[in-house]
Amino acid sequence: MTRVDEIANDIYRISTYVADFNLQFNQFLVKDDEPLLFETGMKQMFPIVRDAVSQIIDPASIRYVAFSHFEPDECGSLNDWLALAPRAEALCSVVGAMVFVNDGALRPARGLNHNETVQTGARRFRFKATPHLPHGWDAGFLFEETTATLLCSDLLGHAGDVPPVTDSDIVGRFRETTNAFQGGPLSNYMPYTHHTEAQIKDLASLKPRVCAPMHGSAFVGNGERALLDMAVAMKEILG
């Protein structure tokens, strides 16, 4: 049920398909001097994610556990990782550290400001603070500058048990999934505010070559175009 695939140099997608939701739940491991895990999965997924990580590195060597925003599939097993890896430090937005992590986690987080960078060895991450995109006051994204990989959480996410990587129409998949949510409990699952378009344009200006969503295939291609087209779809469906 869980598979591991390298989607960029030393960046691995760990993916578990959950048929009840028709969704893949993805985490991303960056193998480097100071390994980084982006998104943890829900607490009950910790054993299978840990075992998948162990195929690549010693899980206890994780240095950073990062995530976009407070939600179970983003950081549900954060404390399990902090307990397993003695040097591990949570990475999130300054707001996330203030409103959740520094109270709920085993150790204080390193809160990142907009455009702050983190070096893990050969890899350099730029943090983009994006309040309420995709959800929550604390939201943000990490962009790995050397591989031009955007770890984009729910942006461009889509349903299905799909291949690890695609160069096809990911925006069409995103549109189809978002439309399918309307009218049910996940209607308007991403708030559309007067900041949304500018936030997406800022992410698109990074010109990512890989966009790695939590749900579905990683997109390899013109990430700038994909994000801008996604913004149009979001405005039509959610705006």
Separation between Cα atoms, residue 84 and residue 141, nearest integer Å: 24
Q: Which residue has the tokens 């902090």?
A: 82
What is residue 1's predicted lDDT score, i.e. its pLDDT?
80
What is residue 5's predicted lDDT score, i.e. its pLDDT?
98
Helix/strand/coil percent split, the chain, to 5: 30, 25, 40
Averaged pLDDT for residues 188-207: 96
User: Would you state the structure tokens that stand for residue 177, as one six-digit string?
Assistant: 């999934």
Q: Is 62 exposed, middle or buried (0-12, 13-18, 19+ CB in 10 A)?
A: buried
How many Å separate Cα 151 from the centre of its chain? Answer: 5
Separation between Cα atoms, residue 15 and residue 5, nearest integer Å: 8
Measure Cα distances from 56 to 1, 31, 35, 176, 213 in Å: 17, 8, 11, 34, 21
**Half-sphere exposure of residue 171, counting CA atoms within 13 Å on the CB side?**
16
- Let me know: does 41 contact 49? Beta carbons within 8 Å: yes
What is residue 188's predicted lDDT score, i.e. its pLDDT?
85
Q: Which fold has domain 2-238?
A: Metallo-beta-lactamase; Chain A (3.60.15)
Averaged pLDDT for residues 185-214: 96
| pTM recorded for the entire structure | 0.97
Classify 31 as helix, strand or coil. Answer: coil
| pLDDT tens readout for residues 153-189 | 999 999 999 999 999 999 999 999 999 999 999 888 9
Separation between Cα atoms, residue 85 and residue 64, nearest integer Å: 9
| pLDDT tens readout for residues 100-144 | 999 999 999 999 999 999 999 999 999 999 999 999 999 999 999
- Let me know: does 65 contact 78? Beta carbons within 8 Å: yes
* pLDDT of 98 over the 90 cut: yes
* pLDDT of 10 over the 90 cut: yes
Beta-strand (E) ranges in 103-185? 110-112, 117-119, 124-129, 140-144, 149-153, 165-166
Query: What does the DSSP assignment read for 62-79?
Result: --EEE-SSSSHHHHTTHH
Averaged pLDDT for residues 33-50: 98
**Half-sphere exposure of residue 21, counting CA atoms within 13 Å on the CB side?**
14
Amino acid identity of residue 176, one-letter, is: E
Q: pLDDT-derived band of residue 49, with 50, 70 and 90 as boundaries?
A: very high
What is residue 45's predicted lDDT score, i.e. its pLDDT?
97
Averaged pLDDT for residues 70-90: 98
Q: What percent of the chain has pLDDT over 70?
A: 100
